[in-house]
Structure 1
Amino acid sequence: MKTKNKIPMRQCTGCREMKSKKEMLRVLKTTEDEIVLDTTGKKNGRGAYLCLSRECLDKAIKNHGLERSLKTAVPDEVYERLKKELEDIEK
């Protein structure tokens, strides 16, 4: 009998909804305290997840969800990069 693989679920820092890891964007704080987008989902560091929508990003900015998840201040240019990334995805 074949067992079903568990789908890893993560919570969006914007809307707080649980979704599968594949449907989300991972923002990562590396060991060098750099904040990067992790497209592979495999890099080492502290990760925070966002839905692939501009709405969730706006909510995360407003409620400081990313800062809370990453336990550090998030510079504005990271948010700008995320906005660009989401625009590219939504096209």
Structure 2
Amino acid sequence: MKKRKVPLRKSVVSGEMKPKKELIRIAKSKEGEVSIDPTGKKPGRGAYVAIEPEEVEKAWKKKILDRVLETELTDDFYQELLDYVTHQKARRELFSNE
């Protein structure tokens, strides 16, 4: 059986190349609207962050996503992203034991 190539993406916070499934994509549409993209398929400019709460907090503190996506993000967006990442990490830990 042929082994499939695992798509890699670079985290904008740590600069590490990781499998796409271990990262979350934040997409910026042409209209300038920024949103969390769980499918990884929304149109627009994308930036990847690892599914680690520490990495999201670092991005929030240093405003890394603001710089990468060339826009100004609200604290509410960063809080929503932090909640989402924390939830996803908990789900992974819960279901990875099966």
Q: What TM-score comes out, normalization by structure 1 length?
A: 0.85
d(CA) in 2 for partners of 1:5 and 1:89?
25
If asked which structure has higher relative contact order (CA below 8 Å, sep 6+), I would say 1
1:38 offset after TM fit, Å? 0.5
- Residue 82 of structure 1 is matched in structure 2 by 81
Q: Which runs of 5+ in 2 are unaligned?
A: 91-98
Q: How many residues align?
A: 90
Q: Which amino acid aligns with 1:82?
A: L
Cα RMSD of the aligned pairs, angstroms, is: 1.7
Runs of 4+ aligned residues of structure 1 deviating over 6 Å after TM superposition are none
- Residue 33 of structure 2 is matched in structure 1 by 34
1:7 offset after TM fit, Å? 2.7
Once the two structures are superposed, residues 17-69 of structure 1 have per-residue CA deviations (whole angstroms, 9 ceiling, x without a partner) of 11111210001111221111101101101111010001111111223221122
What secondary structure does 1:36 align onto? Answer: strand
| 1:22 paired to 2:13 | no
Instruction: Please tell me whether the aligned partners of residues 15 and 60 of structure 1 are also in contact (alpha carbons under 8 angstroms).
Output: no
1:77 offset after TM fit, Å? 1.3
> Percent identity at matched positions?
40
